[in-house]
Structure 1
Amino acid sequence: MQAYKRSPTRGFAWIAEGFRLWKRSPALITYLTFGYLLILVVLSVIPLVGQAVASLILPIISLGVLNGTLAVHEGRKVGPDVLLSGFKSNVAGLITVGGLYLTGTLLALGATALFDGGMLLKIMVGNHPLNEEAMATPGLMNASLFGTLLTTPLMMAYWFAAMLVGWHGLSAPKAMFFSLIACWRSFGAFSMYLLGIFFLVVGGPALLVATIAQSSPALASLLTVPLPLITIPIVFASFLPNVLDIFGHEPPPAAHG
């Protein structure tokens, strides 16, 4: 499996290419984006098991988003069912990826108890509200930094795993290993990519709204609603250029199934 090393400037290029992809089919990509988020929200509110189930099927839905954006990239017509197309591609392997990611995340959060007595873990799993009492917990900041340090390589291992399992047929452990290596080889590009996403979703809209508010507060308030409906789908659309650039521009036949 060849993972190409890309220069830091490619991180911004992925976002620009995502914008161009979104312009080709804004309705479909917006549907994929918010359909994905809705599924996760609905599953997460199920008592006791919801968050775990959401984590397990997240790679399946993620693959559906990739399949949909690939169809846009290739000019193919697909229906709403493309969001669930991941259920046709090595479901066991995809669920295993979700399980490994969930297990790794829980272990990492559990390790942060060394600093804050387990408060961060309680907040993240929904057992304690994020209130003033929680924020005042001694060691919470150190726990957050330590948790970030532990989960960053886990996120890198997870980033391409669903695609590698669904499109290339790799086993979950092997896919996560190759994903980690791919992200590490282009760490600079991913750093710029995340910086660009932050500006697109948070910094840019906030600056725009603040500027307009100087002359028209009402218009600024109105813009806070449609802006996320544009920026978030662009972020989702940028995942495909990222995948094709790192692993080659021609997806395997399994991606079209």
Structure 2
Amino acid sequence: MQARQLPSGRGFAWLGEGLQIWRRNPALLTFASFGYLLLLILVSVVPFLGQIIASLLMPILSLGVLNTCQAIDKGRKAGPDVLFSGFQQNLPALVTIGLIYLAGSLLVLLLTSLADGGTLLKVMTSGGKIEAEVATSTGFTLALLIAITLSTPVMMAYWFAPLLAGWWKLSAPKAMFFSFYACLRNWRPFLAYSIALALFGAVLPGILLGIVGLASPMLATLLSVPLPLLLIPIVFASFYANARDIFGEPGNAFEQP
């Protein structure tokens, strides 16, 4: 398994390439992106087992979004059902990836309990509210720092894992190892990519809406509603762009019958 080492500037290019993919078929990519999010949200609200099932489905559905991006990129015909194509590609490995990612995330949250007595764990698992004095406490701040620090390698191991398992048929441990290695080897372009995401997804829209809001608060509110319909699919397509850039593609990774 070869992971290219890319220059920093490629990180800024991934969002632009995601925009190009979105422009070729905005309807399909928007459906896949929001279908992915909506299904995970609906499943996660199921009592007791919802969050576990959502974690197991996440790699499968994310591979479906990547398959959607590849189909658009290659000019192949694809319908909405491509979102569920991950169920046909190395399903046991994808489920295992979801299970390992869930276990890693829970372990990180358990370790934060050493700093704040379990406040962050309670908020993340049961949706409890945080009082203002708790949110500004030293313990809670330390818990957030621990969560960010320890969850970063977990996210690195997950980032490319569904794609590597689905397209290259790697086992879950190998897929997560090579995902972590690829992210570590390309930390410079990923740093640039993070900056681009912050600018594109938060800073620039915030400035734009702020300027419009000075003239017409109602217009700014109206503009803020469709903005996610544009931003989220482009960001999802940029995930495909960085995966394609670093690993290439194994021919037609998924062909619809």
Q: Identity of aligned pairs, percent?
A: 51
- Relative to the length of structure 1, the TM-score reads 0.96
Tell which deviates more after alignment, 121-130 or 138-147.
121-130
1:252 Cα deviation from its structure 2 partner: 3.8
Cα deviation code 1:17-65 (max 9, x no counterpart) = 0001101111011001100010011011101110111011100000000
| 1:132 maps to 2:125 | no
| 1:255 maps to 2:257 | no
Match of 1:2 in 2: 2
Partner of 1:152, secondary structure, is: helix
Q: Report if the CA contact (8 A) 1:8-1:192 is conserved.
A: yes
AA partner of residue 47 (structure 1): P
Cα deviation code 1:94-135 (max 9, x no counterpart) = 000000000011011101111111111111111632343642
Whole-angstrom CA distance in 2 between matches of 1:48 and 1:137: 30
| 1:223 maps to 2:223 | yes
Whole-angstrom CA distance in 2 between matches of 1:119 and 1:209: 34
AA partner of residue 122 (structure 2): K
Whole-angstrom CA distance in 2 between matches of 1:73 and 1:212: 34
Whole-angstrom CA distance in 2 between matches of 1:218 and 1:233: 25
Whole-angstrom CA distance in 1 between matches of 2:43 and 2:133: 28
Whole-angstrom CA distance in 1 between matches of 2:129 and 2:192: 33
Match of 1:211 in 2: 211
Whole-angstrom CA distance in 1 between matches of 2:114 and 2:52: 24
1:190 Cα deviation from its structure 2 partner: 0.8
1:137 Cα deviation from its structure 2 partner: 5.1
Match of 1:42 in 2: 42
| 1:84 maps to 2:84 | yes
Whole-angstrom CA distance in 2 between matches of 1:138 and 1:14: 37
1:233 Cα deviation from its structure 2 partner: 0.9
Partner of 2:215, secondary structure, is: coil
Tell which deviates more after alignment, 217-226 or 107-116.
217-226
Whole-angstrom CA distance in 1 between matches of 2:157 and 2:167: 16
Whole-angstrom CA distance in 2 between matches of 1:208 and 1:172: 43
Whole-angstrom CA distance in 2 between matches of 1:189 and 1:140: 31
Aligned length: 256
Whole-angstrom CA distance in 1 between matches of 2:69 and 2:252: 15
Structure 1 residue runs of 4+, over 6 Å off? none
RMSD: 1.3
Whole-angstrom CA distance in 2 between matches of 1:86 and 1:133: 44
Whole-angstrom CA distance in 1 between matches of 2:67 and 2:220: 36
Match of 1:193 in 2: 193
Q: Report if the CA contact (8 A) 1:112-1:144 is conserved.
A: yes
Partner of 1:18, secondary structure, is: helix
Question: What are structure 1's unaligned runs of at least 5 residues?
Answer: none
AA partner of residue 145 (structure 1): L
Question: What are structure 2's unaligned runs of at least 5 residues?
Answer: none
1:216 Cα deviation from its structure 2 partner: 2.3
Within 5 A, what are the aligned runs for 1:86-125?
86-125=86-125
| 1:29 maps to 2:29 | yes
Q: Report if the CA contact (8 A) 1:244-1:251 is conserved.
A: no
Partner of 1:238, secondary structure, is: helix
AA partner of residue 199 (structure 2): F
1:136 Cα deviation from its structure 2 partner: 5.0
Q: Report if the CA contact (8 A) 1:116-1:140 is conserved.
A: yes
Q: Report if the CA contact (8 A) 1:167-1:252 is conserved.
A: no
